[in-house]
Structure 1
Amino acid sequence: MNRCKSQECGKEVAYYSATVSAWFNTKFEMDKQLLSLSSAGVGLLITLMTAFGVVNLRVACFFALSLLCYIITVISVLLILYRNGKFLEKLNSDKNKNKNENDNLLLVLDFTARTSFVIGILLTSAIGIETSLNKLEIQESFVIDKSKLEKQPQENKRKSLNGAGRMRPNDTPNKQPGETSPKNTNNEGN
């Protein structure tokens, strides 16, 4: 009977250990993903800026704010990872009698990282929408300008070439007014 209780107790300890390990892994994985995605967000913003440029002041503000949000997320997550180690050391020390305490700085950093990441995604989406709308407006104005050119009457096009025949060079380039041109300039020495 005593042996069965120790086996059940061992199973509970193993289950608890696996559960705690999975909980830590999930928490750390979330932070690692935020770090990776925020770094990719910075790269995406730089690529968008070089590929499409800044089309107006609103997009420039979106770029700046989005970049700032991603950088805040990266810094927050790096501080979280550093602070997690210190917090775990504190929990496992013999001096710490209160095992249920939370690190308030970790709570603030977690909130900051997640909030700034979501805002960065929303601003990056706004950049994409604004750039697409601007490109669409440019294409529409090009189509309108092209249709205006096609509607011009044909006589205006011909009229613009009037006088082109006057640009043809004369038969004798150095002819003075009132002079007659020589008949054969190559046979003068004969």
Structure 2
Amino acid sequence: MALLPILIAPDPVLETVSTPVDTVTDEVRQQLDDMLETMYAAPGIGLAAIQVGIPKRMLVIDVARDGEDKQPLYIINPEITWVSDDDQLYEEGCLSLPEHYAEVERPAEVKVSYLDRNGEKQELHAEGLLAVCLQHEMDHLEGILFVDHISALKRNMILRKLLKQKRLATAS
């Protein structure tokens, strides 16, 4: 396994709409394993392939709390098949927008169909943090960041700070 570099906004690659995975191969499984290792090392609870420069419809998630056994999910070609009428506000962060957080309103529950690591079709009913994480990571597959769900003023402030940090890092 290998740690992959995580793209930081505002990187135009993060605006890419990812393409479906045709066949779950050993290469795809290796990419998922590398993504999971990268996510754990960051540390984070979700990572979409596009965040490491792979424009495929894949993500990894593990919302287990500290001290709990790891419960990784490998999700390929996910599709939301149902959303609840109830919404919830949740403070979100993102590995591609380090140290920036904002409240985002999303459906409180979702059902998602997807292929697992072995290419088997699965369905998942999620609520709470898992529902938020799924929707957040699936947004990445469409080139959407969580800051796209907040006011333009807050979004622009966050993106300007990240751009300034990038310029300072490359100048050093």
TM, length-normalised to structure 2: 0.23
Q: Which has the higher helix share?
A: 1
Q: Is the radius of gyration larger for structure 1 or structure 2?
A: 1
Q: Which has the higher strand share?
A: 2
TM, length-normalised to structure 1: 0.22
